[in-house]
Amino acid sequence: MKHRLFAVLLGVLTSPAAMAAGPHGDGGDAMFGGGPVSTLGGVLVLLSLLFATVGCGLGFVAGYRRDPQLYRLAQSAAYGFSGAMIAANFLMVYALVSHDFSVRYVAEVGSRATPLYFTIVSLWASLNGSILFWGGILGVYTAGITWHLGNSHREYAPWVLHVQLGIAIFFAFLVASIANPFAPVSPVPLDGPGPNPLLQNHWLMAVHPPMLYLGYVGMSVPFSMICASLLAGRLEAGWMAPVRRWMLIPWAFLSVGIVLGGWWSYAVLGWGGAWAWDPVENASFHPWLTGTAFVHSAMVLERRGRLRDWTLLLGMATFLLTLVGTFMTRSGVFNSVHSFTQSDIGPVFLVFIGITLTYSLLLLTFRAHKLDEAALLTDQRLGAKANKGMSLLSRETAILAQNGLFSAFTFTVLIGTLWPLIVEAVEGRRISVGEPYFDKWALPIGLAIVFMMGAGPMLPWGRQDADKVMKRAIGPAVFGLVVVGVFAGFGFTGPISLLTLFVVGFTFWSNANEIFEPARRRMASHKEGAGTALRKVLLRGRRRFGGHVAHYGVLMAVFALALSKGYRIEQDFPVEKGQTVQFQGFDVRFDGAEMRSDKDETGREYRTALVSTFELSKNGSSMGVREPRMNFYKTQREPIYTPDVYSRPWGDLYFSIISVPGDGNSAVLRLIWQPFQVWMWLCAPMIALGTLIALWPERRRQRSAAPSAEVTNAAPGGAK
Amino acid sequence: MSTSSGPKVRWPLLIVGLVVIGGMMALLGGSFGRQVKELSTEMEGKPYRNFTAVDFDGNEVALDAVLASGKPVVLNFWSTWCGPCKLEHDHFQRAAQLNPEVQFYGVLYQDKVPLAKRYLQQKGAAYPTLTDESGAIAITYGVGGVPETFFIDRSGTIIHKENGPMHMGMIAPLLEQLKASTP
Amino acid sequence: MTALLLMIVTAFGAGTREYVPVDAETIERAEIPGVPPGPPPPASQVDAIAHDISDKLRCPVCQGLSVADSNASTAVNMANHVRALVAKGYTEEDIREFFITTYGEWIVLDPEPQGLDLLIWLGPGLAAGLGLAWAVGTVAQWRREPDDELPSERGDAPLDRYEQQLLAQLDAEIESDKGGH
């Protein structure tokens, strides 16, 4: 047995090693033979591959044989993989900062002229570095789940490690062979081109990708846990809880990452919009949609024991969609703002996707019946404890409807993104499917979903009388009308936005009810003051309260979207120096444009900028100076147009330069007024807060697998 | 909480799943190497569109009039900031000199006239270049980048549109076609 | 091949970005060959109509942005051209058709609902409808399943840890549900 393992390992190892030696004599692709950083990096990456492979195999055997010793070994291998990958990432950052151009990735994206901040960020600026970063985050999550599981959930844990490390094998393999960022370069160049200027333009580039990666990569954990369940042939309430939590953690990061991406698009790209239904944006949206659906259907699974297959399918689909999304971003098949150059990893990635998809399908198809048997047994022992009887006017229906709508939404966005490919394959035509199409469908489906977000909390589980429901609906409906009235009074009279505002108001009140109603009852029954009652209710029902807070985050985004898009006003102004133009009650005076030099912390200039200065005032009182600019980078002929935004809670005045001919005494300015835009960005901390509340462990319960420190530790950087 | 045991193998799921996976793999796999940027050849085979423009010497040019005089036309959209345009410049100059019965026009695309004039002074101009400040000519011809070249025969049909630089070997046969065409 | 790539690279929104006002002369010269313009709309509405049309046209040199949104030179020129055509009196269908015959189908961001594209036109609505039908149908099925399929006695084996947990959870929720739901 041990010999066989060894032989397999040898085989696995020699293949990338052979690739490492490289087909070219010049050592261009070789892993060894370069400088110390290259060599060490290569070793770390190979080590991570080794640990992943060994751990994967150990996990399988440990699960199959229920062998605790092998399980402990698998845990060590998991930590080994994590350690090696994380160390490799730190090593690469070191190489970037120390401008070690003998390392291939540094030669590709490093530059002495780039400020330190962006040098660190360039770890994920380009393809090979971003794959390494993917692996690093995978290492963090693998360590996290290994530690969290510890000695508990013994029936599942080895299987979790098996699947998790199986995924790790793939990424370690990618980094070790095709996408190797540590490969040595010779002769060593003196300087590099620097990362893509678009990535150096704004500090958000340091935050948006890591958040997205923490979301994307993290979906591997609930996936592994679901596969573990199918492999082990059991699924109990005690397992569903950690699966749910480990889905929520990356989900929160993904939500934040998506919103940050929107903010970046708005603040950096100069077109005044946050979401363009770009293929890569859509790729990040699919897993969010299925992940959200999962979180809700899991509630029905826990409560009623039903929708098991469906819930597991959603959970697995979330991870599978992140793989598809990563592929879409990197394969070069799609025309997108995020496109990396086409590379060899595309086909390999596609094979991996095919394998994982088939594996998941087979697991679900052939093992799901085992879960049914286990569940039936549990039912028999517990007796029918939950509510008997079902009404159509129940929370179950609302959640199912929500799931149905989310699935439709996912389907719409996915097929819409793939449609140009499909049509080209079938009919040879080239077409575009863009914003007008997606907006057209996102609106009704989105509205229906938001309505469900309000109707669901209002409905009870199981059975309810229709008139009781109607009574509970009065408050929200009235509040919705009030909101409509208020905004209509302020001039927002478009019918679609009024409908949206009604639904927003309805959902707002309904969710608020769910928070305050139990507190009120408690005040009556326990004779407590308002503050105490509220605190107790919130502390005891963290999951529910966190859910409501997250709902409010989504509401903010929908509110901002409806009003900023529906009432957006845009106008182009050719202006001369000293000239003032009027727009939406503001006075904007052009004060000329001049070239400025931007220097990094060592005093070296890394870009020049043509900055146009505008004095903003209203009714004679000055509101500051706005400076939209055109940033010129050495490596790019075309400048990047960076807007400047005057932001207030009730609206943004967006300054974007169209052109500045010649001498800087005239310019063409685009002004855009977008009401309530900032509320969209506030959605991110709200959702993060909601998730944090929902995940915060309860102190009193004897939980087998969640001491309080674990959750915060397992969520690196905290869900903020 | 009643749960009934499902079938041992979820057959519908398996079949649908395999079909979806297969379809997706085929679609994504077959899309490798697909050209991502849109390069239009829509105008090929269509009749030309008239415009009037001014060349660098101030003379007004109407495409209608040129074709009415019986000459086929080659329209070459170019800029000074476009490397491949500079690569093909000599070829077009030579082609124009060798084929006086074909009317060549350059059309300046999103560029500054003084820069273009200086470039032509250095590199030679065997045929006039037209200004297109508003970009209307480029839009009317579906130009999405430079260089793009249109070959219009005597009957006014655009027999070929080339996206990208051309060399003599590509230009010559097309010129033969143009010369052989009838109004 | 390299040349083609070079051309592609250099073609991305480069140039002087001169802003040309849409004056009377430009409007006069703007035309769709072979198509007569209709009556010109009132001057105050021209910008709004043109913006609407530009929103649905794809900028040929950008990565998926609409002509209205992009500030690339090509997009600005196209937006101006659209504005001139609108001011001249051309309808949205005329202008859309013009761009499709000039650039190709891919120039519009919203495919026409005909032929194969009819599928994505109808698809989302069908999917949403199906989703809701599935929701209602599933709950209806649950209502139909008789509860007395379960044995009325508990099994002999003691509840394991998870089952105890589940029991406690259910008890707590039934307790909290009692008040008013």
pLDDT of residue A402: 96
Residue predicted with more confidence, A642 or A292:
A292
pLDDT of residue C76: 87
Q: How far is C85 from chain A (nearest CA, A)?
A: 18
pLDDT of residue A193: 81
A365:B14 CB<8 A: yes
Q: Which residues of A touch C51 (CB under 8 A)?
A: 570
Least confident residue range of A262-276, C20-34, C132-146: C20-34
pLDDT of residue A321: 96
Instruction: Answer whether residue C72 shows pLDDT above 90.
Output: no
C124:A408 CB<8 A: yes
Confidence of residue C181 (pLDDT cuts 50, 70, 90): very low
Q: How far is C90 from chain B (nearest CA, A)?
A: 15
Length of chain C: 181
Q: How far is C87 from chain A (nearest CA, A)?
A: 17
C104:B38 CB<8 A: yes
Q: Which residues of A touch B18 (CB under 8 A)?
A: 358, 361
pLDDT of residue C174: 59
Q: Which residues of B touch A353 (CB under 8 A)?
A: 25, 28
Instruction: Answer whether residue A534 shows pLDDT above 90.
Output: no
The predicted model gives A601-616 an average pLDDT of 84
The predicted model gives A483-509 an average pLDDT of 93
Q: Which of A638, A650, A308 is nearest to A487 (CA)?
A: A650
Q: Which of A1, A91, A75 is nearest to A37 (CA)?
A: A91
Q: Which residue of B has its CA nearest to C25?
A: B134
Instruction: Answer whether residue A38 shows pLDDT above 80.
Output: yes
Q: Which residues of C touch A632 (CB under 8 A)?
A: none
Give the model confidence (pLDDT) of A252-310 as tens digits. Answer: 999 999 999 999 889 887 788 889 898 989 999 999 999 999 999 998 888 777 889 99
Which residues, other chains included, contact A258 with Cβ-Cβ below 8 Å and sequence gap of 6+? A212, A215, A281, A284, A285, A288
Cβ of residue A421 closer than 8 Å to a chain B Cβ? yes
Instruction: Answer whether residue C154 shows pLDDT above 50.
Output: no
pLDDT of residue A333: 78
Cβ of residue B43 closer than 8 Å to a chain C Cβ? yes
pLDDT of residue A94: 92
pLDDT of residue A287: 97
Q: Which residues of A580-605 are buried (b: 16+ CB within 10 A; e: fewer)?
A: ebebeebbbbbebbeeeebebeeeee
Rounded to 5 degrees, what are φ and ψ at A652?
A: -115, 140
Residue predicted with more confidence, A554 or B112:
A554
For residues A564 and A676, the answer to whether their CB atoms sit within 8 Å is yes
pTM of the model: 0.88
Beta strand A629-633 with A605-618 is antiparallel
The predicted model gives B38-67 an average pLDDT of 91
A423:C117 CB<8 A: yes
For residues A285 and A314, the answer to whether their CB atoms sit within 8 Å is no
pLDDT of residue A216: 94
Residue predicted with more confidence, A719 or A626:
A626
Q: Which helix (H) or strand (E) holds A222?
A: helix A220-232
pLDDT of residue C25: 72
Surface of A (330-359) touching B: CB under 8 A = 331-335, 339, 342, 346-347, 350, 353-354, 357-358
pLDDT of residue A24: 40
Mean pLDDT estimate for chain C: 76
Mean pLDDT estimate for chain B: 90
pLDDT of residue A676: 93
In which residue are the tokens 């990535």 written? A199
Q: Which of C1, C22, C65 to mutate to test the interface with A (most CBs of A within 10 A)?
A: C65
Instruction: Answer whether residue C5 shows pLDDT above 60.
Output: no
Q: How far is C49 from chain B (nearest CA, A)?
A: 19
B5:A332 CB<8 A: no
Q: Which of B76, B60, B52, B66 is nearest to B183 (CA)?
A: B66
Interface partners of C (3+ CB pairs, < 8 Å)? A, B
Measured distance CA(A505)–CA(A454) in Å, rounded: 9
B31:A421 CB<8 A: yes
Q: Which residues of A touch B5 (CB under 8 A)?
A: 369, 372-373, 376
Per cent of chain A over pLDDT 70 is 88
Q: Which residues of A touch B82 (CB under 8 A)?
A: none
ipTM of the complex: 0.87
A385:C170 CB<8 A: yes
pLDDT of residue A73: 95
C10:B147 CB<8 A: no
Per cent of chain B over pLDDT 70 is 97
A461:C155 CB<8 A: no
Interface partners of A (3+ CB pairs, < 8 Å)? B, C
C16:B134 CB<8 A: no
Give the model confidence (pLDDT) of A557-577 as tens digits. Answer: 999 998 988 888 888 888 999
The predicted model gives C69-85 an average pLDDT of 88
Which residues, other chains included, contact A615 with Cβ-Cβ below 8 Å and sequence gap of 6+? A588, A589, A591, A622, A625
pLDDT of residue C17: 37
pLDDT of residue C47: 84
Confidence of residue A4 (pLDDT cuts 50, 70, 90): low
Q: How far is B56 from chain A (nearest CA, A)?
A: 21
Q: Which of A90, A64, A284, A105 is nearest to A192 (CA)?
A: A105
A388:C17 CB<8 A: no
Q: Which residues of A touch C14 (CB under 8 A)?
A: 637-638
Q: Which residue of B has its CA nearest to C32?
A: B140
Confidence of residue B4 (pLDDT cuts 50, 70, 90): low
Question: Out of C120, C140, C166, whose CB is closest to A433?
Answer: C120
Give the model confidence (pLDDT) of A313-325 as tens digits. Answer: 999 999 999 999 9
The predicted model gives A18-33 an average pLDDT of 45
Mean pLDDT estimate for chain A: 85
Give the model confidence (pLDDT) of A437-493 as tens digits. Answer: 999 999 999 999 999 999 998 888 877 778 888 888 999 999 999 999 999 999 888
Give the model confidence (pLDDT) of B70-108 as tens digits. Answer: 999 999 999 998 899 999 999 999 999 999 999 999 999
